[in-house]
Every structure is written in C-alpha cells, then in structure tokens.
C-alpha cells in the first residue's frame, strides 16, 4: 500500500486490461471505454511517481488534471464521430467499417 511498486503494478494491470478491451471489443463505444481505462492507468502512474519520487507534489497532480481535461475532449470528439459513423452504417461495430483497405 505504501510502496511505489504496488501502484505501478496496479497501473500497468489497468493499462493492460484497457488494452485488452481495446483490442477485442467490436463496439466502438466499448473501445472508447477501454481507452479511458488506459488513460487512468497513466494518471495513476503520474500520481504514484509524484507521491513517492517527485520533487514537487503539485506537478504530478497538475499532470493528472490535464490528462482528465484531454480525456474529456477526446471522449467528446470520439463519441461524436462514433455517432456520425452510426448514422452512416447504422452500426457502431468497427468490423463493419472496412471499406478502406488494401
């Protein structure tokens, strides 16, 4: 609980779970959810380093804050694009969208 490695392990595991989801979900929204998990993993990392190693406790927190902001923006754009795709294909299954290939 008070060791850096625990947090790093947690973050890494979360990252990999997110990655697993990203790679196997067919639903675009599912993929987006997985991405959010991965971003959180990075946040945990930042804060853990901040807590155990960092020179200035504020820096890591600010990083996490910005990651959240970016995540929000990302989610907004992603969702709007997913909806746009849904309008075209009547589906948000990524495997249906394979016009572009070769």
Report in angstroms how near the CB of residue 3 gets to another protein at its nearest.
10
State the nearest-atom distance from the C-beta of 64 to another protein, in Å. Answer: 5
Minimum Å gap between C-beta 43 and another protein is 7
- Interactions with another protein, residue window 33-72 (CB under 8 A): 33-72
CA 75, CA 28: separation in Å to the nearest integer?
A: 12
CA 72 to chain centroid: 11
Choose among 31, 38, 33: nearest CA to 92.
31
Q: How many of the chain's residues bind another protein (CB under 8 A)?
A: 98
């Amino acid at each position: 609980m008070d060791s850096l490695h625990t947090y790093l392990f947690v973050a890494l595991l979360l990252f990999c779970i997110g990655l697993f989801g990203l790679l196997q979900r067919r639903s675009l929204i599912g993929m987006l959810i997985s991405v959010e998990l991965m971003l959180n993993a990075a946040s945990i990392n930042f804060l853990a380093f901040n807590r155990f190693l960092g020179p200035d406790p504020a820096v890591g927190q600010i990083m996490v804050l910005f990651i959240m902001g970016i995540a929000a923006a990302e989610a907004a754009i992603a969702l709007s694009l997913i909806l746009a795709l849904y309008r075209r294909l009547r589906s948000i299954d990524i495997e249906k969208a394979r016009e572009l290939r070769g």
